[in-house]
């Protein structure tokens, strides 16, 4: 059985079976990322040398590898689940939407031009070549590659140029697991419809169905599952329950804040800290808020509501893939006025990356948005100029004696001190260094993503925010750190898959099963 597979198999992986398996979904956010992360951790615990892979992401949530390359945040986490150092081979193609019709292309971690909407179906042959080459690298090095699909494999309008779903599976003979989210409703129709829309040769690779986010008595599902298997010949290998304590670095910005309660912020409890995060249209690296939301007593709401933004103890402007455009949107929604009122009253505001740039007095962008010079919100004395070269870095620093070693940078815009004094601050205090950026009074700005994953810094800074906001919140010194919480989450997820998914049956479809 796979559980007895030794961890020290000599030489290259056996070639007598499939080099990996593909986890596809009935839709976006069906649970593909969760299943891949869980499988990677479960298999790593069994001693299998396993690696994650996603041929192409379309996401503005990304991370910088130690080698300086950029990959999707979900694949970065999946590599951590497999107990590996992430590399660009694990997500060779990353598309970062800049508008509704254009995406910026990242290949093997580096910028590689743009992709227009009309090119998406058939204009990606060179990207497929890069993706397949990366897969071969991983297949040569690891015993098993657990692949994540994108969207749905039944998007027949995109099948001709597909190299992420069935195109990948066909290229490497991968068995396919299709995951469906029962919480969305219509799960049986979604699974059957996926099978029915696939062409005959693609359908032959569909080997397993798995249901995600089930609540209740699984026996109620059994007649339906049996009927779907009778009609398709595809067995069900798992029904995963709703896992309340599992959250993942999402690649889908539509799901920002999905794992947090996000209906309202309490206006009464002063021993809690209330954080409102503006959900920008092109929000980028929104996973920055996860570390804040994981802190005991901190309530985070991702919102576009001006009243919520005004009432929170802390207002955060997150990163953006289209800074100038999102800044204009802030003004149109009246949210720029909310920021100005908070600054004038000395109430805390934080800007990260694009949000930091917006808080400055001027932005010159002839690269990303190609808008020339536009005025910023004017609350920090910095000017941002966009350059052709993209900054990809893993910096380290400190604040108030607290080390920060979890940060990363992904940006074209360079923010420098100088120019106008900040507007709206009651006494216009002098700017002070804040990580790589600056603060003025209760306004802070930094280009560093991920900094708040450093526990000591996060707690000390939030304590200062609480004092400025008049909140009685205090950090819990005995609370688990963010990295520890993430590890616990990955183990919880792996435990759930070991209990509710027939992992051995899935491995039997691969070369792992062929060698044990």
Active site positions, annotated: 353, 449
d(CA 115, CA 97) in angstroms, rounded, equals 9
Strands 432-434 and 409-417: unpaired
Question: What contacts 128, CB < 8 A, 6 or more positions away?
Answer: 55, 161, 163, 167
d(CA 115, CA 152) in angstroms, rounded, equals 20
Structure tokens at 201: 């040769």
* Strand ranges, E, within 84-125: 93-97, 102-107, 110-116
For 435-455, the DSSP string reads TTEEEETTEEEES-BSGGGSH
Structure tokens at 513: 């099963």
d(CA 294, CA 4) in angstroms, rounded, equals 36
Tokens 């917006």 locate to 358
**Which has the closest alpha carbon to 25: 184, 243, 171, 132?**
184
- Buried-state track 368-395, b at ≥16 Cβ within 10 A, e below 16: bbebeebebbbbbbbbbbbeeebebebb
Structure tokens at 457: 């810094």
Task: Give Rg (Cα) of the chain.
Answer: 24
CA 132 to chain centre: 23
* Cα angle 420, 317, 250; round to 5: 145
Length of the chain: 516
* Segments in 390-446 forming alpha helices (H): none
Give the 3-state secondary structure percentages of the chain, helix then strand then coil, rounded to 5: 35, 25, 40
- Would you call 477 helix, strand, or coil by DSSP? coil
Structure tokens at 120: 């998406």
Do residues 181 and 31 lie in contact, with contact meaning Cβ atoms separated by under 8 Å?
yes
d(CA 233, CA 241) in angstroms, rounded, equals 24
Do residues 84 and 160 lie in contact, with contact meaning Cβ atoms separated by under 8 Å?
no
* Cα angle 355, 358, 362; round to 5: 150
**Which has the closest alpha carbon to 326: 301, 372, 349, 357?**
357
């Amino acid at each position: 059985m796979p559980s007895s597979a030794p961890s020290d198999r000599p030489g290259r992986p056996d070639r007598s079976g499939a080099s990996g398996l593909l986890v596809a979904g009935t839709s976006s956010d069906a649970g593909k990322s969760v299943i891949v992360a869980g499988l990677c951790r479960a298999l790593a615990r069994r001693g299998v040398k396993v690696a994650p892979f996603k041929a192409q992401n379309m996401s503005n949530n990304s991370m910088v590898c130690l080698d300086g390359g950029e990959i999707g945040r979900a694949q970065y986490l999946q590599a951590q689940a497999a107990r590996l150092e992430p590399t660009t081979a694990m997500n060779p193609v990353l598309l970062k939407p800049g508008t509704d019709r254009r995406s910026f292309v990242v290949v093997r971690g580096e910028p590689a031009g743009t992709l227009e909407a009309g090119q998406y179906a058939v204009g990606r042959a060179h990207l497929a070549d890069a993706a397949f080459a990366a897969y071969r690298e991983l297949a040569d090095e690891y015993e098993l590659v657990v692949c994540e699909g994108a969207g749905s494999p039944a998007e027949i309008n995109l099948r001709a140029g597909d190299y992420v779903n069935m195109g990948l599976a066909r290229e490497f003979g991968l068995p396919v697991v299709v995951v469906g989210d029962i919480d969305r409703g219509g799960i049986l129709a979604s699974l059957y419809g996926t099978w029915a829309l696939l062409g005959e040769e693609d359908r032959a690779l569909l080997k397993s169905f798995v249901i995600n986010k089930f609540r209740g008595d699984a026996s109620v599902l059994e007649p339906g599952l049996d009927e779907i298997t009778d009609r398709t010949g595809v067995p069900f290998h798992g029904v995963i329950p709703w896992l309340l304590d599992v959250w993942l670095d999402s690649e889908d910005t539509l799901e920002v804040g999905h794992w947090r309660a996000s209906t309202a912020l309490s206006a009464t409890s002063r021993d809690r800290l209330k954080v409102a995060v503006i959900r920008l249209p092109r929000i980028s690296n929104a996973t920055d808020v996860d570390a804040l939301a994981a802190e005991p007593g901190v309530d985070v709401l991702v919102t576009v509501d001006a009243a919520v933004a005004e009432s929170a103890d802390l207002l955060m402007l997150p990163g953006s893939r289209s800074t100038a455009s999102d800044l204009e949107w802030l003004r149109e929604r009246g949210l720029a006025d909310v920021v100005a009122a908070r600054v004038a009253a000395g109430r805390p505001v934080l800007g990260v990356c694009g949000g930091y740039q917006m808080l400055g007095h001027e932005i010159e962008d002839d690269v990303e948005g190609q808008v020339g010079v536009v005025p910023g919100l004017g609350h920090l004395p910095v000017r941002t100029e966009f350059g052709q070269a993209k900054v990809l870095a893993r910096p380290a620093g400190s604040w108030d004696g607290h080390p920060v070693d979890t940060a990363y940078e992904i940006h074209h815009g360079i923010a420098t001190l100088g120019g106008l004094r900040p507007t709206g601050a009651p006494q216009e205090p002098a700017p002070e260094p804040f990580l790589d950026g600056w603060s003025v009074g209760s306004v802070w700005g930094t280009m560093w993503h991920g900094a708040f994953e450093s526990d000591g810094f996060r707690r000390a800074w939030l304590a200062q925010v609480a004092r400025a906001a008049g909140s009685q919140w205090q950090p819990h010194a005995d609370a688990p750190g963010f990295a520890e919480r993430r590890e616990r989450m990955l183990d919880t997820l792996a435990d759930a898959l070991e209990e509710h998914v027939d992992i051995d049956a899935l491995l039997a479809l691969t070369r792992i099963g062929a060698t044990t």
